[in-house]
Amino acid sequence: MCFTPDAVPPPVPDALLVAGELPQARSVTLTSDDGTAFSAAYALAPEPAAGPAVLILPDVRGLFGYYRNLTRSFAAAGHSAIAIDYFGRTAQDTGRDADFAYLPHVKLTTPQQVQTDLRAARAHLAETSGATSFVTVGFCFGGTQSYFATTDSGLGLAGAVAFYGGLDETRLGAFPHPAGEAGRMSGPILALYGGADPGITQELRDEFSAALTDAGVDHEFVVYPGAPHSFFDRAHADFTAECADAWRRTLGFLASVA
């Protein structure tokens, strides 16, 4: 797993907040076009900012406490947000606690399935928040899915953000090589990486960046030297400056695509 079950998101810098308290996160069961029922959590911004709503793509564990809380953080910064669970097709909806054996389900989860579920989540957030513009923000496995989501014209994304999105298709199996799919992607893309992440090497980052450049996809890669994989959750107490900068860049990106 990327981090411990009791991990919490790093706080949004005070200067970027538009709400004094974190809005409530609400649970909902949504249904995709293919009939799949899946869980999601969302939070509505009390004072919407000038920018898109956020479709959150969790790590390999799917939807649990960290990502429910992350919807609240985005809402407090003025962006209504919804986080989805990936495993409505293969796992019972009994919660994603520390004992959840996620890997067999991850290997059965395809980008096409994720995008089908994202379209249902987008429709729900549009109805509940009134949002008309959307950006994906993904983490680890979800970061990779955030890249792939830009290939889906039906989502109509204004952009995509990826925190340490995996770039090696051999590690989890259920997705193609991101660099090989760059020609189908659209920007802008913001990618945030830990420089000390052994699973996402500089060579992989360079290969993906070059492929995006060749495809004419607007993108920015930010690498935090010494930061590990999942620095934004697992180890944020040790990387407070990096986490604050990641929040500023992410929220600045949302403002830039408004």
In sequence order, what DSSP letters do the residues of 108-133 get, joined into one string? T--HHHHHHHHHHHHHHHHHHH----
Which of 58, 57, 96, 55 shows the shortest CA–CA distance to 74? 55
Calpha distance 26→18 (Å, rounded): 20
How confident is the model at residue 139, as a pLDDT? Answer: 96
How confident is the model at residue 96, as a pLDDT? Answer: 78
Q: Would the pTM of this model clear 0.75, i.e. be above it?
A: yes
How confident is the model at residue 205, as a pLDDT? Answer: 97
Superfamily of domain 14-256: Alpha/Beta hydrolase fold, catalytic domain (3.40.50.1820)
Residue with token string 């996809």: 217
> Domain spans of the chain?
14-256
| Residue 98 φ/ψ, nearest 5 degrees | -65, -20
- Average pLDDT in the chain: 93
Contact 134, 55 (CB under 8 A): yes
Which of 30, 167, 10 shows the shortest CA–CA distance to 86? 30
- Quick one: three-class SS letters along 196-225? CCCCCCHHHHHHHHHHHHHCCCCEEEEEEC
> Taking CA 191 as the corner, what is the angle to CA 132 and CA 19, rounded to the nearest 5 degrees?
50
The residue type found at 213 is T
Which of 99, 97, 71, 94 shows the shortest CA–CA distance to 84? 71
Which CA distances in Å does 54 have to 16, 45, 167, 228? Answer: 16, 11, 22, 25
One pLDDT digit (tens) per residue for the chain, 258 residues: 465 667 889 999 999 999 888 999 999 999 999 999 999 999 999 987 778 999 999 999 999 999 999 999 999 999 999 999 999 999 987 677 778 899 899 999 999 999 999 999 999 999 999 999 999 999 999 999 999 999 999 999 999 999 999 998 776 666 889 999 999 999 999 999 999 999 999 999 999 999 999 999 999 999 999 999 999 976 677 899 999 999 999 999 999 997
In three-state secondary structure terms, 180 is helix
Calpha distance 165→190 (Å, rounded): 11
